[in-house]
Structure 1
C-alpha cells in the first residue's frame, strides 16, 4: 500500500510539473492537466468515465474499482497515445475495448486480477510501440492476441501465470526489440515461438520452471544482445544451446540446477562481455569451457561446488576484468590458476575452503585492484605473494584462522608498509592460544618466537632443480608449499633414476636447517614427496 501511494504521489507530481496547471471540468475523482493528461484514482470509480476531455492524449487509472473495460470505452478519444491501468480490480476486458485508438503508442494493464485476454483485443492498435501486461493472472496467450500490432517494440508479460502460448503468437512482431516473459509458469518454449523475432535484442525468461531447450529454440535470434535465464530448472548447457546467438553481450544463468557445462558451450559467443552462472551445482570446469569468449570482461561462478581451478581454464580471457569465485569449495590455488588474465582488476575468492596458495599466483596479475580472500581456512600466506601488485586498493583477508608465529612476519610487515595506500581488513590470530584474538598488525616481533625458529623462504623454494654433481642436467624438478601444520611439503618429479639428496639451507649459512632425505636405488616413481620440518 505504501508503494502504491508513493507511486501515485510521484506520478501526480510528474504530471503537475510537466503541465503546470490543472484544467477544471474533469470527471469526478480525476485530475486533468492542460486538458490533455488525465489522472484518475479512487475506489469510487467503477467504470471508465464518459466525460474525459475529448482532446486527452494520456490517461492513467490508479487504485480504482474498475472491474471491466467495456467495448469502445475510449472510442471518442482519437488523440489518446498512452493508457495505463495500474492496481485496479479489472477481471475482464471486452474484445473491442480499445477500438478506434489508431494513435495509441503505449498501453499498460498491471496488478489486476485479470486472468484472460481474447484474440483480437489489440487488433486495432496498429501504432502501438509498447505493451505492458504485468503482474496479473493471465494463464494463456492465445493465437491472434497480437494480430496487427506490427510496430510493437517492447512487450512486457512478466509476473503472470502464463503456462501456455500459441506457437505463432509473435509471427507479426518482426520489429520487437524487447520481450519479458519472466516470473511465469512456462515449462517449455515451442520451437517456433521465437522464430519471427529476428530483431529482438533483449529476452528475459527468468523465474520459470524451464528445464531444457529444444535444439534450435534460439537459432533465429542473431541480433539478441541480452538473455536472462535466472531461477529456472536448467541442469545442463549443451554446445548447441547458444551457438547462433553471435551478437549476445550479456548472459545470465544464475540460480538454476546446472551441473554440467559442455566443452566449448560458449565458443561462438565472441561478443559476450558479461557471463554469470552463480548459485548452481557446477563441480568441474571442462577443458575449453570459456574458449571463444575473447570479449568477456565479467565472469561470475560464485555459489557453485568447484574444488579446483584447472590449469589454463581462463587462458583465453585476456580482456577479463572481474572474476567472482566466491562461495565454492576451492581448497588450493596453484600458480597456473589464473594464467592469461593480465587485464584482471577484481578477484573474489571469499567463502571457500582455501588452505594454501602458491607464491606466484598473482605474478602476472599486475592490474589487480581488489583481492578478496576472507572467510577461508588460510593460516599463512607465502612471502612476497603481493609483490609487484602496485595497483592494489583493497585486500580482504579477515575471518581466516591465522597462525601467528614467525612465518607471519612478512605478512605483518607488508600490512604495516601498505596501510596508507591499501584498504586492508582486520586480521586476527587464531593460533597459538596465547595470541588468540590479537590483531596481526599490532604483533611485536618478540611475540612471534622468531629467536628460536628459523623462517624458511617459500619464494626461494618454489621451483628447485636438483642436479647430480657429475652431470649438468637436472635429475628432479621440485615444487613446494606450506602445509597446515607449518611444515614444507616438497613434491618432486623424477627425471632420471639416480640417488636424490634433498636439504634445506639457511641462506646465511651453509648448514642444513632440518634434515636431508636420501633414497638410493629409486625405481623411477612419477613423483615423490618430502616433508621438511622447520626447527
Structure 2
C-alpha cells in the first residue's frame, strides 16, 4: 500500500489476521521505524490475543526491525480494560508509544494497566463509557504527553487525577455534568486543555490555579453556566481563551481577565454578553486585537472601559446593538489603535464630537450599515492618519439636515485615501459634485459592488432631481 504524507511517500506493508469477529492488521512504514497493530471488533480477550499474536508472529521480521509501535483497538465491545490487553504484546510492550482505544464501550480501567507501556506518549480513550477517573489509572505513565478522555460520561475526577503525568502537555476531557475542581486538574506541565461536549454547571475561584503553564483553554461543543471573577486566576501564560467560556453566562465577571498577561488576541464576539463595564478588560494589557461584535452592549456609558487596553491596534464593535451615543473620550486611552469597526449599530448619533479623541494613529474607521442621516465633520477632524473611511449603507444626504459636510471632511482628513459612500440618499447632481471634489483630493471612492442601475454616478446609486 502507498501513502503520500507530509514526510513524503511511505510504503506500508500489511498483514491481516481474522479470528472469529476480531480482525488484527499489522502495518509498518517503509523503513520499519513505526509499526501499527490495529484490531477491530474485539469482544473478548481470547480472540484478541490470538489474532494479535498471529499478526505479530507472521510479520516477525518487520516487528524485529521496528523501533516504535502504535496499538489501536477501536469499534469494539469490552466493558473493562484489564491485563489481557498486554498479553500478546510481550515482544513490543516496551516500544509502544501510542494506544488508541476509542469507541470500545470501556467503562472501567484497571489500575496500573497503562503503566506497563513504559514508553507510552499518547493515549486516546475517547468515545467510551468511562464514568470516573482516579490517579492510579495513570500511575507510572510519566512519559505521557497527550491524553484524550473526550466524549465519556465522566461525572467524577478524583483529586490529583493527572498529577502523576509529569510530562502531560495536551488533555482533552469531558465533564458530563457539574464541575471539576482545581485539585482534580493538578498538572504543572499541562499546556493545552480542551473541555469537549461538557455541561459545566460552574467554575470555582482559582479553578485553574494548579495548571500554571496552560497556554490554551478550549470548550469544544461545551456549555459553562457560571464563572467567578477569580476563575482564571494564575493563568499568566495563557495565550488562547475560548470565548465559549462565556457563551451561556450573558456576562463577563469583573476582573476575570486580570492575570491574562500573555493574551494578545481576544475574541468575545457572538456570545450574547449584555454589557461591558469599567473593569471588564482589566489585565488585558498586551491584547492587540479585541472583537466584541455581535453582542447586546446597548448602552456604553463609562469612559474608563477601554483604559487597560494600552496596546490594542484593532477593535471590532460591529453589530453590538449599541442604542445610545458613545461617551466623549471613550477611545482616548487607545493611542495605538489603527482599526475601529463600529458598523451595523442601530443609532444615528453613535459618534459625536469628542468621542474619537485620542485616536491619533487610527488608519481605518468603519461606520457603515448604521442609521446615519448626517455626520458632524468635526467629530472626525482629529483623525489625521485616517486612510480608509467606510460610510456605506446609511441615510446620508446633501439636502436633508443634518447635511453631509464632505468638503470639511476631505479637508480635515489629510491622509484619507478611500471613502465608501455607496447606498446612501444621494441626488445625482450633488453626488457628481462631491465625487469631483474627492477626485481633486486624490481620494478614491469606487464601491466594492459597482452599481449598474440607472441612474448612478461612477457606480454609486443616486436619484435624479425632481
Give the CA deviation at 1:338. Answer: 1.3
Give the CA deviation at 1:287. Answer: 2.3
3-state SS of paired residue (1:13): strand
On the 8 A contact 2:368/2:392 being kept in 1, the answer is: yes
On the 8 A contact 1:378/1:400 being kept in 2, the answer is: yes
**Match 1:334 to one of 317, 327, 337:** 327
**Match 1:81 to one of 68, 72, 82:** 68
On the 8 A contact 1:27/1:52 being kept in 2, the answer is: no
CA gap of 1:50–1:259, structure 2 versus 1, over 3 A, is closer
**Match 2:140 to one of 144, 148, 168:** 148
3-state SS of paired residue (1:353): coil
Counterparts in 2 of 1:44-59, with a 5 A limit?
46-49=22-25, 56-59=32-35
In the alignment, the residues of structure 2 paired with residue 388 and residue 349 of structure 1 have an alpha-carbon distance, to the nearest angstrom, of: 17
Give the CA deviation at 1:94. Answer: 4.9
CA gap of 1:441–1:147, structure 2 versus 1, over 3 A, is farther
**Match 1:359 to one of 353, 356, 371:** 353
Alignment-derived partner of residue 277 in structure 2: 286
CA gap of 1:440–1:102, structure 2 versus 1, over 3 A, is farther
In the alignment, the residues of structure 2 paired with residue 363 and residue 272 of structure 1 have an alpha-carbon distance, to the nearest angstrom, of: 26
Counterparts in 2 of 1:84-163, with a 5 A limit?
85=72, 89-92=75-78, 94-96=81-83, 97-98=85-86, 99-100=89-90, 101-110=93-102, 112=103, 114-119=105-110, 120-134=112-126, 136-143=127-134, 144-163=136-155
CA gap of 1:260–1:15, structure 2 versus 1, over 3 A, is closer
| RMSD (CA atoms) | 4.1
Task: Confirm whether residue 428 of structure 1 aligns to residue 423 of structure 2.
Answer: yes
3-state SS of paired residue (1:102): helix
Task: Confirm whether residue 187 of structure 1 aligns to residue 178 of structure 2.
Answer: yes
Alignment-derived partner of residue 170 in structure 1: 162
Larger RCO, structures 1/2 (Cα 8 Å, 6+ apart): 2
Task: Confirm whether residue 372 of structure 1 aligns to residue 366 of structure 2.
Answer: yes
**Match 2:5 to one of 6, 10, 14:** 14
CA gap of 1:45–1:359, structure 2 versus 1, over 3 A, is farther
The number of residues matched between the two structures is 409
Counterparts in 2 of 1:410-425, with a 5 A limit?
410-411=405-406, 422=417, 424-425=419-420
3-state SS of paired residue (2:4): helix
Counterparts in 2 of 1:25-44, with a 5 A limit?
26-27=14-15
In the alignment, the residues of structure 2 paired with residue 424 and residue 59 of structure 1 have an alpha-carbon distance, to the nearest angstrom, of: 61
Give the CA deviation at 1:383. Answer: 0.7
CA gap of 1:375–1:231, structure 2 versus 1, over 3 A, is farther
Alignment-derived partner of residue 218 in structure 2: 228
**Match 1:305 to one of 290, 293, 296:** 296
In the alignment, the residues of structure 2 paired with residue 377 and residue 297 of structure 1 have an alpha-carbon distance, to the nearest angstrom, of: 29
Map Cα deviations across residues 457-505 of structure 1 (whole Å, 9 max, x no partner). Answer: xxxxxxxxxxxxxxxxxxxxxxxxxxxxxxxxxxxxxxxxxxxxxxxxx
Counterparts in 2 of 1:192-231, with a 5 A limit?
192-195=183-186, 197-205=187-195, 207-229=197-219
CA gap of 1:262–1:94, structure 2 versus 1, over 3 A, is closer
CA gap of 1:80–1:316, structure 2 versus 1, over 3 A, is same
Alignment-derived partner of residue 267 in structure 2: 276
Map Cα deviations across residues 108-163 of structure 1 (whole Å, 9 max, x no partner). Answer: 345x35443522442212222222344x2444244333232111122233344444
In the alignment, the residues of structure 1 paired with residue 225 and residue 283 of structure 2 have an alpha-carbon distance, to the nearest angstrom, of: 22
Q: Unaligned stretches of 5+ in structure 2?
A: 58-62, 436-466
Q: Unaligned stretches of 5+ in structure 1?
A: 1-8, 30-41, 447-535
On the 8 A contact 2:368/2:390 being kept in 1, the answer is: yes
3-state SS of paired residue (1:311): coil
TM-score by length of 1: 0.65
Alignment-derived partner of residue 3 in structure 1: none
CA gap of 1:408–1:351, structure 2 versus 1, over 3 A, is same
Task: Confirm whether residue 253 of structure 1 aligns to residue 248 of structure 2.
Answer: no
Give the CA deviation at 1:18. Answer: 3.9
Give the CA deviation at 1:248. Answer: 2.3
Q: Looking at CA atoms only, which structure, 1 or 2, has the larger radius of gyration? A: 1
Alignment-derived partner of residue 349 in structure 1: 342
On the 8 A contact 2:329/2:357 being kept in 1, the answer is: no
On the 8 A contact 2:182/2:210 being kept in 1, the answer is: no
Give the CA deviation at 1:330. Answer: 0.9
